[in-house]
Structure 1
Amino acid sequence: MGTVTAFLALDLLLVCVPGADWAYVITAGLRGRSVLPAVLGLVAGYAGHTLLAVAGLSVLVAGSPALLTALTVAGAGYLVWLGWGVLRRPPVAPGAADGTPPASPTRTFLRGAGISGLNPKGLLLYLSVMPQFLVTTGARVPVAAQTAALGAVHMANCAAVYLTVGLLARAVLHARPTAARAVVRTSGAAMLGIGGFLLVEQLAAL
């Protein structure tokens, strides 16, 4: 139980550090009618990470530098594409984007799942941080069950933090179209910048 509590505290700190997930949920909240599809999508992406970790596939990825690089490049490219899309069509007001209707909940959900599913920060969490909290010697609880529990903790943290961030962004910026536009542009630039940095870093290492 102490291990789970320690992981919860560390993981919560990591989730509270702004990054691509934050940028997406803020942008989705201001563009759409609800932040819930975006948050559920982000959590679903980490659910995928958890299932892969439970199945032991994360160990295979960690042991294959080429595969890990390919996943990182794919995630970085996806962030660049999304960030450019946000900068190209910033919303005129919360809930509208240049007169076009907001993205459907399904599309918002799938984009969120793609962002967290390919997020290099998520990969590092599951490949480097989480294994340090697993008890492998003389454990009464199977490693797979421990992994599932820690993954559930991470998903709960993500759901709580991202929902709070999205709702606060909407509440604070709903009546401030100019500020909302600036925040969305900043979020788009953050996704573009993070993705671009990762692409350059990975390509330079080849």
Structure 2
Amino acid sequence: MHSGTLLSFLALDFLLVCVPGADWAYAIAAGLRDRSVAVAVAGLVAGYALHTLLAAAGLAVLVAGSPSLLTALTVAGAGYLVWLGWGVLRRPAAPGAAEEPLATTGPRVFLRGATISGLNPKGLLLYLSILPQFLTTHGGHVPVPVQTATLGLLHMACCAAVYLTVGTLARALLRARPTAARAVTRTSGAAMLGIGAFLLVERLATL
């Protein structure tokens, strides 16, 4: 792959990752809790690692060619976001609070992060629609699975950098401001719920 192709993909991918969405909401919520930012972001990145493996194995093409399967994955992801966002709205926690609506242990923080990114419709869009446009399928010296894995790794690195920054800034700026922290937590929950509801309505309307 040419360095220009990699840079072009990285630039576009960075812009997409910087658009607030479910991943941002989860990173912010994790930033308001003790010792959970790195674990939460690791979970988010793990979800995209699964996307990368499936795409490199050629399963992304299968999903893209099956509208019913794509619909099922989108509905599952949207429904999970609605459930998670509603839980955050019901019990918004201040920084360091004992009760955590998102998770209480490291493994659960990680697993929920992986579930959010693994079912994130924006991730599906990237791997099924955008990433293939940067692959050289004819006359290239690098096998397509290797190209796919390389672009997937770039996306994962970009996500790790952006979401760690978002979560860390949320902790640094809001930790001493419980009222503001609760407001941001509610906003994050509302974002998850709103995104999930919109995707559910949009996808179901096409059936």
Instruction: Work out whether the TM-score is over 0.5.
Output: yes
In the alignment, which residue of structure 2 is the partner of 1:134? 135
Write the letter of the residue equivalent to 1:70: A
Q: How many residues align?
A: 205
Counterpart residue type for residue 23 of structure 2: D
Letter in 1 for 2:59: L
The structure-2 alpha-carbon separation of the partners of 1:121 and 1:99, relative to structure 1 and needing over 3 Å to count, comes to closer
Distance 1:104 1:88 in 2: 20
Instruction: Give the partner amino acid of 2:146.
Output: A
**1:97, distance to aligned residue in structure 2 (A):** 5.1
Q: Which residue of the partner structure matches residue 72 of structure 1?
A: 74
Distance of aligned partners of 1:169 and 1:100 in 2 relative to their CA distance in 1, 3 Å threshold: closer
Q: Return the match for 1:45 from 41, 44, 47.
A: 47
Matches within 5 A, 1:16-165: 16-91=18-93, 93-96=94-97, 98=99, 103-165=104-166
Give the Å deviation of 1:75: 0.1
Contact 2:88 2:102 in 1 (8 A): no
What is the rounded CA distance, in whole Å, between the counterparts of 1:102 and 1:199 in structure 2? 24
SS of the equivalent of 2:32 reads helix
What CA distance in whole angstroms lies between the structure 1 residues aligned with 2:121 and 2:49?
15
Q: Normalising by the residue count of structure 1, what TM-score does the alignment of the two structures yield?
A: 0.96
Instruction: Find the aligned partners of 2:197 and 2:33 in 1 and give their Cα distance.
Output: 23
Shift of 1:33: 2.6
Assess if the C-alpha contact under 8 Å between 1:21 and 1:42 holds in 2. Answer: yes
In structure 1, distance between residues paired with 2:78 and 2:103: 24
Deviations 1:161-188 (A, max 9, x none): 0000000000000100000000000000
Task: Tell me which amino acid in the other structure corresponds to 1:110.
Answer: L
User: Gapped runs of 5+ residues in structure 2?
Assistant: none
Q: Aligned-pair distance for 1:67?
A: 0.2
Give 1:2 shift: 1.0
The unaligned stretches of length 5 or more in structure 1 are none
Identity across the alignment (%): 78
Please tell me the root mean square deviation across aligned C-alpha atoms, in Å: 1.5
Q: Deviations over 1:25-54 (max 9, x none)?
A: 101221343301110000000000000000
- Extract structure 1 runs of 4+ deviating beyond 3 A: 97-102
Amino acid at match of 1:2: G
Please, what TM-score do these two structures have when normalized by structure 2? 0.96
Paired residue for 1:13? 15
Aligned residue in 2 for 1:166 = 167
Give yes or no for contact 1:29–1:170 (8 Å, CA) kept in 2. Answer: yes
Deviations 1:140-176 (A, max 9, x none): 0000000000000000000000000000000000100
Q: Distance in 2 between matches of 1:101 and 1:69?
A: 26
Q: Distance in 1 between matches of 2:148 and 2:103?
A: 37
Q: Which amino acid aligns with 2:36?
A: S
